[in-house]
Structure 1
């Protein structure tokens, strides 16, 4: 079984490297559907996995100067308290109970579908907003909308481990359409580090992290991400994103039905 986890980590890492889509959209459903791991344990383990990988990504983006720290702070003001409150609610209602497991399962399905929407329409949304600057938020409205988006993402990520990647990046495009793609990626990764760390700590407190599973996934994902990143330019992006959208939609339907 450990070999299967390593291979799965490699496959997910490869797809993340090729497409840039957050690993949670792939890893959490994979652990739940293919290996039959309890949804809460799958979420907790993936959050610890994401915290480790996103920390390395943040250092790289900081070195390149592609992190907007003012936006990271606004997102964190909403996301971090939401993650703490959501963890306490999971503790209160029983994070590893069958009932909560079913809620988490549906939350994962919703998060996966949001990722699909983000994959398909992010570019069109950005183009439309850049063509209509009068529709863009400014000043205090923009700051409040950013903190509210952070709160929604904080709850979503803590429950499902999904949302900090493609969904978070799409919200940044909607709120800050003039950011460059590199700034969107860097800012999205940077705010996700404290969010996934707090959410992972919460799941550790709830007892829903499988450390041996985490080690096996990391063992496979590191070379997978490296190879995927190197091969990304050789594979048509539209083909990859279309394939990923179909796969994720199928996963979401399977989780629900």
Structure 2
């Protein structure tokens, strides 16, 4: 089965490299449906998987491209990190009093996948119809004026709960949130900022799930062995595959999987 995990990691990494969609929306359903892992274990393992695989991306964006808006990262983290910790404590409390959390995690996973499917389609529309202006200043121009800071913190808080419950949303939903909040931020900076915010969020959420016994480290290692070369190959192949064809197909698959999680 370790070979199967490695191949699955490679396949997901390949799709992530080609489409840019976060691995959580692909990896977690794969672990649940193909390998019959409990949703909680799939979520916990995938969160640490995401934290590790995204680190290299941020290193490139910050070190090479200087494309991380650390102010926005900080504001979103003020909302997301405490809510992630609170969500872990809520799950732990429910487990302590004997409540079944699998159903709650499964439902949250379904909702997150449906939202991610919509985000994949909306992102294409936003990027196509919105003029992208590269910001020369450190502080990006926001959409909401005086309430921009509270709006950014609130958005981070929502992502903190959703990502901790489902391991899905730190990529696609985070990108859409930043695009909506900061419409004049360059696409490159949006991606870099989203990655930089996702790392501490997925790491804290993953460590929280680890404390609850929801991480399979043998599985994690196998997935990493397969995914890292998959992402590298996918990134080089992406230019040869038409995005207009691939993204709607991927969104449709995620939507169907999300509906299955919600209705089961």
Instruction: Tell me if both proteins adopt one fold, taking TM over 0.5 as the criterion.
Output: yes
Match of 1:136? 143
Q: Distance in 2 between matches of 1:59 and 1:6?
A: 25
The answer to whether structure 1 residue 58 and structure 2 residue 65 are counterparts is no
> Would the aligned equivalents of 1:126 and 1:177 in 2 still touch at CA under 8 Å?
no
Question: SS of 1:94's equivalent?
Answer: helix
Cα gap change, 1:160 to 1:215, in 2 (>3 Å): same
By how many angstroms is 1:123 displaced? Answer: 3.5
Q: Size of the alignment, in residue pairs?
A: 252
Q: 1:214 to 1:146 in 2, by over 3 A?
A: same
SS at match of 1:208: coil
Tell which deviates more after alignment, 43-52 or 122-131: 122-131
Q: 2-side partners of 1:100 and 1:211: how far apart?
A: 21
Specify which of 199, 224, 228 is matched with residue 193 of structure 1: 199
Instruction: Name the structure where helix makes up a greater proportion of residues.
Output: 1
Q: 1 CA distance for matches of 2:257 and 2:46?
A: 17
- Alignment partner of 1:175 is 2:176: no
Q: 1:126 touches 1:174 (CA, 8 Å); kept in 2?
A: no
- How far did residue 125 of structure 1 move? 3.9
Residue 29 (1) aligns with residue 36 (2): no
Corresponding residue for residue 82 of structure 1: 83
In the TM superposition, residue 247 of structure 1 has moved relative to its aligned partner by 1.2
Cα offset for 1:21? Answer: 0.3
CA drift at 1:44: 0.4
Cα shift readout 1:187-230 (whole Å, capped 9, x = no counterpart): 00001111111111101111110000000100110110011000
Q: Secondary structure at the match of 1:99?
A: coil
Which TM-score applies when normalising by structure 2?
0.91
User: For the residues of structure 2 that align with 1:204 and 1:183, how far apart are their CA atoms?
Assistant: 31
Corresponding residue number in structure 2 for 1:111? 112
Moved segments of 4+, more than 3 Å: 125-131
Give the Å deviation of 1:57. 1.1
> Hey, what does 2:234 align to over in structure 1?
228
Identify the residue that residue 3 of structure 1 maps to in structure 2.
3
In structure 2, do the counterparts of structure 1 residues 127 and 13 end up closer, same or farther at CA, with 3 Å as the change threshold?
A: closer
1:150: which partner in 2? 156
The alpha carbon displacement at 1:94 in A equals: 1.5
User: What is the distance in 2 between the residues matched to 1:219 and 1:128?
Assistant: 39
- By how many angstroms is 1:254 displaced? 2.4
Distance (Å, rounded) in 2 between the aligned partners of 1:25 and 1:58? 20
2:101 alignment partner, SS class: helix
Q: What displacement does 1:99 show?
A: 2.5
Instruction: Measure, in 1, the Cα distance between the counterparts of 2:143 and 2:84.
Output: 28
CA RMSD in angstroms, aligned pairs only? 1.7
TM-score, length-scaled by structure 1 = 0.94
Aligned mates of 2:126, 2:110 — CA distance in 1: 23
- Cα 1:61–1:232 shift into 2, 3 Å: same
Identify the residue that residue 73 of structure 2 maps to in structure 1.
Answer: 72
> Residue 21 of structure 1: SS of its match in structure 2?
coil
Give the Cα separation in 2 of the matches to 1:15 and 1:151: 28
Unaligned runs of 5+ in 2: 133-141
